[in-house]
Amino acid sequence: MTDATEATGAAEATTTNDVTTTTPAPAGPGAPAPAVLRTAAELGAFAPLRGPRAVVMTMGALHEGHATLIRAARRAAGPDGQVVVTVFVNPLQFGEAADLDRYPRTLDADLAVAGAAGADAVFAPSVDEVYPGGEPQVRISAGPMGERLEGASRPGHFDGMLTVVAKLLHLTRPDLAFYGQKDAQQLALIRRMVRDLNFPVEIVGVTTVREPDGLALSSRNRFLDAAERRTALALSRALFAARDRLAAQQALHARAQITPATTGRAAALTALGEARAAADTQAVALARPVDGPSAVRAAASLVLDDAAAAQPPLVLDYLALVDPADFTEIPDDRTTGDAILAVAARVGRTRLIDNIPLTFGATP
């Protein structure tokens, strides 16, 4: 599990669904309080009578992003199913003891959020309950995919994440597990683990939830002061600029397929004083699909470069356009297929991540 921003979990290679959850929650402030389960035995006794079990795995400090996942799980489980939210701050994912100690623990508030969103139970085990013999000697390795981007910045992080996800999947035994797209590399690794190791669970990915100004919801946002937050908005602005650049470029490419644009036509329009039409015609004539990846990276970089000069500055960790399947970099000559544009940066003492899915070659 990464930060408290998203849920964490795993699943089998049965089906993978990506859903946007925008409909109202079936539960509300008057919903019954969820049962609090502390041990594996209590969890085992809390089996659903009918219907599927849906799980949302978190590290606590729940906010609207988590509530969105829980509501999605509630809808999928239905009235006869069961929704379990796990709250466990996994020590294997923290490189420094100070970061582990600093992580927010807000269980009482978490119970209220989970209950209002429709959870039937919250599984909040102790470290000793999850790791009864101390830190596990046998762990799941994230492999080369886990050494890129976030893995390079936080060595061993994904090994710890996958290990606890595997343990919690065995303990909760869900039919469905819900994860946020904000932690895209985590989600991709869980999907790969589930496929490679045949976990009998279905993964459901849920679109990133954002605040009104575009900042992706995260428990870490609380550490930003007003000036830092203004700088941090560059992350989402950079992603949106890249997305808009790609959309404009693909619209231009589509026009190029149907418009007999030539430099000669542009020159003729210029001679008539139609400068704007001439420029547009020239752009269509020169539009090339291979510009896609480099143009996307350039559009995002412009925004991030400006933020690097802000006060306080944004300190870029990485900006990467990657293949969702293995998080390798997309080559500049890629003209079709899915991609993820991911960014990580520090503002002050706070490290933030964000990403956006893109599709090259899509019809505008």
The percent of the chain in helix, strand and coil, each rounded to the nearest 5, is 45, 20, 35
Residue 220 and residue 337 in contact, taking contact as beta carbons nearer than 8 Å: no
Q: Are strands 35-37 and 202-206 parallel, antiparallel or unpaired?
A: unpaired
Active site residues: 66
Sheet holding 350-360, edge to edge: 314-322, 337-347, 350-360
Whole-angstrom distance, CA of residue 121 vs CA of residue 115: 8
| HSE value, Cβ hemisphere, 13 Å, CA-based, for 130 | 23
Residue 336 and residue 316 in contact, taking contact as beta carbons nearer than 8 Å: no
Residue 122 and residue 62 in contact, taking contact as beta carbons nearer than 8 Å: no
What tokens were used for 101? 């100690």
Whole-angstrom distance, CA of residue 328 vs CA of residue 346: 23
- Block residue for tokens 């992603």: 239
